[in-house]
Amino acid sequence: MSNLIIGLTGGVASGKSELTRRFEALGVHVADADVVAREVVEPGQPPLAAIVREFGPGVLQPDGRLDRRQLRERIFADPAARRTLEAITHPAIRAALETQCRQAPSPYAIAAIPLLAEAGGRVGYPWLDRILVVDAPEAVQHARLMRRDGVDEVLAGRMIAAQASRQERLALADDLVVNDGEPSHLDAMVAELHARYSALAGAASRDRDGDPLRP
C-alpha cells in the first residue's frame, strides 16, 4: 500500500501526460481521473443507474452504455443539469481514485486530476498529501493546442478560459513544474520529485509503523 498520495494537476496542454508517463516509467502507480470517470459509468455501476433515473433512458445507447455525446449536449445547454450530473459522478470518481491510490503497490501514488482546482482543490480531495502543479504560460498552451488538436486561436483561447485560472491552480501547489520547453527537460525534474516523494513516503511509513495506536 502507498504511504503518500500526490495530486497532479495542470491546465489544458500544460504537459500532464508527459509527467505521468515519466512517473509510471519509474514504477509509480498513477490513478487517472479521466479513466476513472469513464469506468464509474460503465453498465452495472451505481452512478449509471442514477444518471438514467435523473435524465431518462434516452441517455443510453442501444447496448446499454452511456451516450456521452447526447448527455454532453444536454449538460452544456443546461447548467443545472451539469450540476446534477457532477453530484452523481464526482463522489464516485473521488472514492475510486482514493481507493486505487491507497492500494497502489508503489511507496507513493499519484492521482492525476486535471480539474482539481475546479473540483474544490484540497477541500474536495482532503486525502491528498501534496499537490503537484504542472504549469505553462498561456501562449505556450495556445500554441500546443493549435498544433495538437488542430484548432484555431479563438477556440484554443476558449478552451483555456473554460478552466480555472493559472493563479487558482498555482495557489494549490506544494510542488511546481514549469513546462515551457521541450519534453526532454522534464526528465531531471521528475527524477528530483521522485527522490523527494520516495523519501517522504519512507518517512510516512516509519511514522505509521511506530505509532502504538495503530493496529
3-state secondary structure of 163: coil
Among 51, 57, 92, smallest CA distance to 75 is for: 51
Cell 519512507 found at = 202
The residues facing 132 across adjacent strands are 8, 175
| Interaxial angle between packed helices 46-55 and 79-102, expressed in degrees from 0 to 180 and rounded to the nearest 10 | 180
Rounded CA separation 90/113 (Å)? 12
Rounded CA separation 54/82 (Å)? 11
User: Which pLDDT band holds residue 211 (cuts at 50, 70, 90)?
Assistant: low
Q: Is 138 exposed, middle or buried (0-12, 13-18, 19+ CB in 10 A)?
A: middle
* Residues with Cβ within 8 Å of residue 166, at least 6 apart in sequence: 11, 135, 138
pLDDT in tens, 166-195: 999 999 999 999 999 888 889 999 999 999
Please, which contacts does 162-168 make with residues 24 or more away whose CB atoms are closer than 8 Å? 163/11, 163/12, 163/115, 163/117, 163/118, 164/11, 164/115, 164/117, 164/118, 166/11, 166/135, 166/138, 168/117
Rounded CA separation 173/193 (Å)? 13
Given CA atoms 77, 79, 80, 82 in this order, what sign does their dihedral have?
A: positive
Region for 106 from its dihedrals, namely left if φ exceeds 0, alpha if ψ lies in -120 to 50, beta otherwise: beta
pLDDT of amino acid 214 = 44
pLDDT of amino acid 79 = 85
User: Which pLDDT band holds residue 94 (cuts at 50, 70, 90)?
Assistant: very high
pLDDT of amino acid 205 = 85
pLDDT of amino acid 210 = 57
pLDDT in tens, 111-162: 999 999 999 999 999 999 999 999 999 999 999 999 998 989 998 888 898 8
pLDDT at 212 over 50: no
Model pTM?
Answer: 0.88
pLDDT in tens, 2-58: 999 999 999 999 999 999 999 999 999 999 999 999 999 999 999 999 999 999 999
pLDDT at 215 over 50: no
Share of the chain above pLDDT 90, in %: 78
- Phi/psi for 189 (5° steps) reads -65, -45
Instruction: Please give the angle made by the CA atoms of 185, 133 and 147, to the nearest 5 degrees.
Output: 60
pLDDT of amino acid 155 = 86
**Cell numbers describing residue 60:** 443510453
